[in-house]
Amino acid sequence: MFKGALPGFRDFYPQELAERAYVMTTWREVARRYAFVEYDGPPLEPLELYTRKSGDEIVGQLYNFVDKGDREVALRPEMTPTVARMVAARANALRKPVRWFSMPQLFRYERQQKGRLREHFQLNVDIFGSSDVAADAELAACAVDIMRAFGLTSRDVVVRVSDRRLLHAYLSSLGVPDSAIEGVHQVIDKLQRTPHDVSAERLRALDVPAEAVEQIVHIAELTLDEIRSRLTGSAAENAEEFARYMEYVAVLLGGDDSWLSLDLSIVRGLAYYTGIVFELFDRSGEFRAICGGGRYDSLLASLGGADLPALGFGMGDVVLSELLRAKGLMRASVAGADVWIAAEESTPLTAVMAEAARRRADGQSVEYALRPQSLSKQKKAAQASGAREFVTLSNTDARHG
RNA sequence: GUGACUGUAGCUCAAUUGGUUAGAGCACCGGACUGUGGCUCCGGGGGUUGCGGGUUCAAUUCCCGUCAGUCACCCCA
């Protein structure tokens, strides 16, 4: 007995598929506004593509197996390695900056929970070959314009922005040793959902100076000026760049600066981020992150490809759809036919079929009752189907049909 | 992988401290009625109560296991 899809996988009935299509066409439409062009890659990749970047422990999170040719393979859990390979292979031939997007279905082997399944569709938007914060600003603005396209406002969603370099410089200014940075990142990443005293305890365990612990626990509330006042040299330049970034995003959003919020507690799990990183959240804090991304300038080189600066973001369909439904903004429904053709019960079915054929050849979407029925019955069926127009063949039509 | 809670029809739920043939609304199908925007009435299909054991004269109800779901942890593209 087959009952339901595999755990963490979804059946898309027509209504759900309509919603998915609505989300994906909106993604595509906004991405094109920003002159990103679409690409795709294989859903199945060599396992090594992921272990080389993330180490063997990642295998536990992957849908992987050995194929009939004895190859270790995995369903793609993310798009970045694939696109990095594709760009690297033609790095010299591609016009820079490369502005690409994709909407792959991604897979992850782990127990499902709210907003996180074993399979989802994710918009990936990336820029390769630009090291200026203008590129970072384009990404953030694009993500925000997607929110706008769905009818969401800055009262619904906030973009929390951080910068790996600023964070590192700030932590250094507090006396945090480089050896502790990674551990401190992990604590900071969990600040929002961890009691302060627990975070403080973890920080002390990492040999963070006592006076720095209190500062780090409240790191999310820092303003750019407060951070800037502690920095000198190249770090101070980073702060200036960050200010320019914020200005660019506001301009790209038509002068609206209400979306972005500096928040150094935004770390992003991935170690490969090197600069500005950001995440989109619903303001109420009810859902997981809607979107996340940032700059990963050294990733392409580390994967053995071209040494191109790179940045990008990913936005999954699961959390976004949950949010849209909660806000009453999921504007998707199954489309009915253009026209429903009815006829008296005594009319031969072939007359209706002939009319349907004529209209279908003309490009119309046509439905009709597949057996003779009373007109009232047909009318009800037509209404239930959502057909936009209801036409009744007269007996004259039928004869001419 | 760990833990907590949950599991009756497609959906939302019901079934008196364990007690006859597990019910209802919605949905679906059929029919009737109404010359109109999904009205009303009649009828119908659909459940080995997630699955497998156990206790009992008797289990939807109690116990164990398993599977699945929800939430959290781990992890986070």
DSSP A80-123: HHHHHHHHHHTTTTSPSSEEEEE--EEE--S--BTTB-SEEEEE
Mean pLDDT, to the nearest integer, of A131-153? Answer: 97
A57 has a pLDDT exceeding 80: no
Same domain, A284 and A386: no
Q: Is the CB of A261 under 7 A from strand B?
A: no
pLDDT of residue A399: 47
Chain B, protein-covered positions (CB within 7 A): 1-3, 28-29, 31-34, 37-38, 68-77
Domain membership flag for residue A2: no
Q: For A1 and B16, how far is CA from C1' in angstroms? A: 35
A152 has a pLDDT exceeding 90: yes
The per-residue pLDDT for range A324-366, each reduced to its tens digit, is: 998 989 988 888 899 999 998 888 999 999 999 999 999 999 9
Domain enclosing residue A244, as ranges: 14-326
Q: For A256 and B17, how far is CA from C1' in angstroms? A: 65
Phi, psi of A128 (to 5 degrees): -120, 135
pLDDT of residue A61: 86
Mean pLDDT, to the nearest integer, of A393-400? Answer: 59
Same domain, A229 and A322: yes
pLDDT of residue A395: 59
Query: Tokens 């053709």 label which residue?
Result: A341
A296 has a pLDDT exceeding 70: yes
Domain membership flag for residue A65: yes
**Nearest nucleotide to A79 by CA–C1' distance?**
B77
Q: Is the CB of A383 under 7 A from strand B?
A: yes
Same domain, A272 and A354: no
Same domain, A319 and A347: no
* Helix/strand/coil for A162: strand
Of the listed ranges A95-109, A126-140, A243-257, A263-277, the least confidently predicted one is A263-277
Reported as a pLDDT band with limits 50, 70 and 90, residue A396 is low
| Mean confidence (pLDDT) of chain A | 90
Q: Is the CB of A340 under 7 A from strand B?
A: no
pLDDT of residue A401: 39
Same domain, A177 and A293: yes
pLDDT of residue A1: 45
Reported as a pLDDT band with limits 50, 70 and 90, residue A400 is very low
pLDDT higher at A235 or A253: A253
The tokens describing A187, both together, are 């604590």
Domain membership flag for residue A1: no
Domain count of the fold of chain A: 2
Query: Tokens 């209400």 label which residue?
Result: A258
CA distance A78 to A106: 6
pLDDT of residue A143: 97
